[in-house]
Amino acid sequence: MTKNKRDILLVEPGYRNKYPPLGLMKIASYHRLRGDHVVFVKGKSPDVRGKMWDRIYITSLFSFHWNETVQTIRYYGRSVSRPDYIYVGGILATLMADELKEELNPTLPVTIIKGLLDEPGMLDQGSSQIIEEMIPNYAILDDIDYTYGVEDAYLGYATRGCIKKCSFCAVRTLEPQPKYRCQYHTSIPNLVHSIDTIYGPKKDLLLLDNNILASPDYERIIHEILDAGFEKDATFNRKQRRLDFNQGIDARLVTPMKMKLLAKTAIKPLRLAFDHSRMRIGYEKAVRLACKYGMSRHSTYILFNYNDTPEDFYSRLRININLNEELDAKISSFPMKFIPLTSKNRRHIGKHWHRKMIRGVQCILLATKGMVSPRREFFDAAFGRNEREFREICMMPEDYIIYRQRHADKADEWRKLYHRIGLRQHQRLLELLAQGRIKEEHCRPETGLLRRLLEHYIESEDVG
């Protein structure tokens, strides 16, 4: 225990998120090992703001949480004797360190930590502890009145890094490894045993690896997972245990041997990614191998709004419906809208998309609670029976998309008018929708069919 006990404040901004802040949990372990007093808060807490802290750590998540993150940093700016005693790390801080410094300087020159705390002495000179290797402190989660989506699970990484260089992914910056290796990181049995000893056993195992199949230690890691008690059909307190590689596995790297090994674990669900149509052959091969070895419940991330077209996006969703029927599988698709790695908001529109199509997809997903059903009849109703119907559904007024049954008659009227307008009127409709909210004064110059079509948007008051 250190002679100079310090008061340490850990802060996660108030954005909504599913997973606890693993980095702060490890920092908490480090400081409590030193004998420091550690407090964890979520968002802006007036109870702790008025206290003077020896050090404040603020984590960050995605770039589109920019405003919330900056506001949180400023909120605690006077809660330390010197601004550089505020340490800011995480995804946003790593990807946008220069922008963050420019935003906060000269009044609040905080200390920005880029990347991982994977070397000794990164927080205190002379310390031999490596923060990245510490067991996360679960006790700090009891300090806050916030429920994360993941409970009762061991959290960690078996590997760090990735061999791929996908332009839409930040892993090579967040977890740089020599020659883009996927490097062995943690012994799973040791992680499980250490957490058991301090905080008690957990039911599930959540690994946040970015590309587990790329690891040269893949076979060793799977056997470690099995040795830790996460074999297929394993139970804990009479409940089925679950292994989850949350970031998914790389369909391009699947082999029969790798899939057969994975099938021995308690993985549920199997997560894959289908980022673009060029992956189709590899993706379908991975799905077929998974089903062959008894893993028929899949969750597939479907990227859209990147370099794809709406038709490409729809076709990838449709492929999963076809595979479900052919293989008697249950593949649920989860569309994920692409947002540039350093975008400060969520408003990005891909080069082949337009604002109304993006909003249309979001409205469909609101109605389906974010998941695309594996059943054809539900898919056809939500997304359309073909690409033409998909585009048409996305162009509807928002209430017509979200509340289909309630507005069925009005939607039929809208559809008849939509089919009758010409190319120029269609382009004009897109221009008006791109303006944001359609109002009566915007539509006064319009006449005939287009005017009648626009009245549906005006009545629903939902565009925007």
Cβ(257)–Cβ(226) below 8 Å: no
- Nearest Cα to Cα of residue 149 among 423, 355, 463, 370: 370
Please check whether residue 408 lies inside any domain of the structure: yes
* Among 79, 60, 55, 63, residue whose Cα is nearest residue 14: 60
Three-state DSSP at 77 gives coil
Residue 1 has pLDDT above 70, yes or no: no
The pLDDT confidence band at residue 436, using thresholds 50, 70 and 90, is: low
- The answer to whether 279 touches 307, Cβ cutoff 8 Å, is no
Q: CB under 8 Å to 163, separation ≥6 — which residues?
A: 180, 181, 182, 211, 214
- The larger pLDDT score, comparing residue 36 to residue 370, is at 36
Q: Is there a single domain that holds both residue 28 and residue 129?
A: yes
The per-residue pLDDT for 441 is 58
Residue 93: the pLDDT is 97
Residue 150 and residue 11 in one domain? no
Is 122 within the bounds of a domain? yes
Whole-number pLDDT of residue 180:
56
pLDDT band at 462 (very low <50, low <70, confident <90, very high): very low
Single-letter amino acid code for the residue at 62? F
* Position 395 in a domain: no
Pairwise CA distance, residues 277 & 1, whole Å: 56
Predicted confidence (pLDDT) at residue 443 exceeds the cutoff of 90: no
Please indicate, yes or no, whether residues 307 and 170 belong to a single structural domain of this protein. yes
In this prediction, residue 433 carries a pLDDT of 84
Distance of alpha carbon 311 from alpha carbon 7, whole angstroms: 55
Span 309-335, mean pLDDT?
A: 96
Residue finishing a domain among 133, 156, 171: 133
What span, in angstroms and rounded, lies between the C-alpha atoms of 89 and 86?
Answer: 10
Q: Are residues 235 and 128 in the same domain?
A: no
Lowest mean pLDDT among 23-32, 80-89, 257-266, 431-440: 431-440
Averaged pLDDT score across all residues of the chain: 93
* Per-residue pLDDT at 464: 41
Same domain, residue pair 365 and 414: no
As for how many domains the chain has, the answer is 3
Taking the C-alpha atoms of residue 74 and residue 76, their distance in angstroms, rounded to an integer, is 5
Last residue of a domain, one of 354, 372, 390: 390
Report whether 349 contacts 356 (CB < 8 A): no
Domain CATH number, residue 61? 3.40.50
Among 390, 417, 432, the domain boundary falls at 390
Q: 172 with 222, same domain?
A: yes
Percent of the chain with pLDDT over 90: 81
- Residue 1 lies inside a defined structural domain of this protein: no
Residues 225 and 129 in one domain: no
> What burial letters (b/e) apply to 291-309, b meaning 16+ CB within 10 Å?
beeebbebbbebbbbbebb
Statement to judge: residues 80 and 177 lie in one domain? no
| Mean predicted confidence (pLDDT) in 359-383 | 94
Residue 149 has pLDDT above 90, yes or no: no
- Report yes or no: 416 and 456 within 8 Å, Cβ to Cβ: no
Instruction: Confirm if 183 and 234 have CB atoms less than 8 A apart.
Output: no
Q: Pick from 296, 318, 314, 294: which is nearest to 305 by CA?
A: 314
Task: Check whether residue 99 and residue 188 sit in a common domain.
Answer: no
Q: Indicate if 147 and 272 belong to the same structural domain.
A: yes
169-183: per-residue pLDDT in tens?
A: 888 889 887 655 778
Same-domain check for residues 242 and 177: yes
> Domain check: are 69 and 99 in the same one?
yes
Q: 404 is in which domain, residue-wise?
A: 400-460
Lowest-confidence segment of 7-11, 85-89, 245-249, 331-335 by average pLDDT: 245-249
Share of the chain above pLDDT 70, in %: 95
Distance of alpha carbon 83 from alpha carbon 80, whole angstroms: 6
5: pLDDT confidence band, cut at 50, 70 and 90?
very high
pLDDT in tens, 287-296: 999 999 999 9
The rounded distance, in Å, linking the Cα atoms of 134 and 142 is 19
Q: In this structure, is residue 2 part of a structural domain?
A: no
